[in-house]
């Protein structure tokens, strides 16, 4: 169901709710979610690569990701003007790639 609009769905980190989806792209090789973390970390928006998504519960309107709140909080802030820039994408990919090693051993992708 790649064409399902996920905007407005709640995002659940490994350790609880983190915000809601503000924007989503389903383009091939360019899928991502923009998560508005709201008041939890003072309205910061972060971009999560689609590969961080474990599952989607359409009945509950929730997206479950394989990161904890601290990892999402420390992610590079979403930059609307350069989100498609290769340097920004490299920084983002590097951040999420490096943080896989700190996932709990029982986490699955």
| Predicted local distance difference test score (pLDDT) of residue 106 | 45
Q: Cα 36 vs. chain centroid, distance in angstroms?
A: 10
Q: What is the CATH number of domain 10-102?
A: 2.30.30
Alpha carbons 30 and 41: distance in angstroms, whole number:
26
Beta bridge partners of residue 15, listed in sequence order = none
| Predicted local distance difference test score (pLDDT) of residue 8 | 94
Domain map (residue ranges) of the chain: 10-102
| Predicted local distance difference test score (pLDDT) of residue 58 | 95
- Which residues are CB-contacts of 41 (< 8 A; sequence separation ≥ 6)? 73
| Predicted local distance difference test score (pLDDT) of residue 12 | 96
Look up tokens 């009945």; give the residue.
59
Alpha carbons 11 and 63: distance in angstroms, whole number:
5
What averages of pLDDT result for each successive group of 10 residues across the chain (109 residues)?
75 94 75 80 78 92 93 81 69 66 42
């Amino acid at each position: 169901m790649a064409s399902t609009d996920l905007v407005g769905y709640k995002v659940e980190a490994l350790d609880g709710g983190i915000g809601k989806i503000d924007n989503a792209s389903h383009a091939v090789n360019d899928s991502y979610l923009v998560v508005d973390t709201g008041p939890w970390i003072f309205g910061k928006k972060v971009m999560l690569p689609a590969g961080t998504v474990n599952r989607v519960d359409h009945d509950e309107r929730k997206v479950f990701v394989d990161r904890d709140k601290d990892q999402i909080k420390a992610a590079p802030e979403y930059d609307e003007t350069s989100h498609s820039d290769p340097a920004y994408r490299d920084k983002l990919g590097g951040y999420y790639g490096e943080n896989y090693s700190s996932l709990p051993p029982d986490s699955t992708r």
